[in-house]
Amino acid sequence: MGRQQNTDHIQTTHIGSLPRPHKLLDLLKAKYGHQPYDEDELNSTLAQAVADCVRKQVECGIEIVTDGEYSKPGFFTYIRERFDGFEARPDQKLILFQKEVSAFPEYYAQYFKEAMMGGAILPIVPVVCTKPVRYKGEEKLQIDIANVKAAANAAGGPRRSRVSTSHCAVGRWD
């Protein structure tokens, strides 16, 4: 798609994880928990979940749709799966946006317990960059791109789409 010039409005989008359907969560938990699961069922459930997610975004007026990060079980797992150069540090204290947490302690106590950590598919294990970074997730990226493009086309394309993830939270370097 060529570069689009906006003359009458600013296009809308969002970034980050969206709530995943229970069926997809159950399959991801089985996969990453080393439990039995059907890979074909996971792939078809993922594709359908992304299609539903994109359709809802279109219905809400979102113009640059995302996959809602549905294929990614969590940020740090995403980093470990798709990049070389990072090591898991399970015993390292996780510090997230400390100034904001300090400003609103009651809110974040509940948020970390129920929303962020309580809804996690896997335990959150921080990563540290220990050597040069290299992307290694090309195959998974192609699946993500195919899912979001198919979903955008089914939702009334042509639309701009993107595979979503945030990159700012890796943090510490050794």
Give the span between the Cα atoms of 115 and 120, in whole angstroms. Answer: 8
For every one of its 174 residues, what pLDDT tens digit does the chain have, with 9 covering 90 and above?
556 666 788 888 888 888 889 999 999 999 999 999 999 999 999 999 999 999 999 999 888 899 999 999 888 888 989 999 999 888 877 666 678 888 898 988 887 776 655 456 787 788 889 999 999 999 999 999 999 999 999 998 656 666 655 444 454 444
Q: Is residue 62 part of a domain?
A: yes
Per-residue confidence (pLDDT) for residue 162, from 0 to 100:
63
Per-residue confidence (pLDDT) for residue 170, from 0 to 100:
53
Q: Is residue 170 part of a domain?
A: no
Q: Is residue 110 part of a domain?
A: yes
Q: Is residue 8 part of a domain?
A: no
Q: Is residue 172 part of a domain?
A: no
Q: What does the block give as tokens for 52?
A: 């539903």
pTM for this entry: 0.78
Domain tally, the chain: 1
Per-residue confidence (pLDDT) for residue 122, from 0 to 100:
80
The domain in which residue 114 lies consists of 22-162
Q: Is residue 99 part of a domain?
A: yes
Q: Is residue 9 part of a domain?
A: no
Instruction: Tell me the β-bridge partners of 13.
Output: 64
Q: Is residue 64 part of a domain?
A: yes
Per-residue confidence (pLDDT) for residue 77, from 0 to 100:
87
